[in-house]
Amino acid sequence: MPLDISIEKKQEGVYAVMPEGHLDSTTSLMFEEEVTPLFAASTKVLIFDLSKLDYISSAGVRFVFMAQKAMSKYNGVFMMTDLKPQIKKVFEIINALPSLRVFKNIEEADEYLYAMQEKEIEKQEV
């Protein structure tokens, strides 16, 4: 099954990546080529909205960890939202969920980001 990729700039430095279909060994290279340019100091938050992802293989999981590592290198935040049960199960099996920021949906992720920004403002005012 093919993979369609949408990338949305939510605000300056905040991007949502929305893969649709299967993220496997045949589609992971295309996904990597589309998303890797976002691994930069100018990207503060990278969100993988997985609401339309039906399948993920070890190649896809590898890239998720690569994205997380790249974002931490630039002091950015990496998040995932809307994991379908079968996708969530893959991450549970490899015991990866505790180390990842996973949110129920994009709205929950936005609330988290808002709270982070409010804390940063409070620090600057002190």
CATH number for position 55:
3.30.750.24
- The average pLDDT across 76-80 equals 92
What pLDDT score does 126 carry?
A: 63
What pLDDT score does 121 carry?
A: 72
Q: Which tokens go with 120?
A: 């940063």
Host domain of residue 76: 3-125
- Domain count across the chain: 1
Least confident of 28-32, 43-47, 86-90: 86-90
Residue of higher predicted confidence among 17 and 92: 17
What pLDDT score does 123 carry?
A: 72
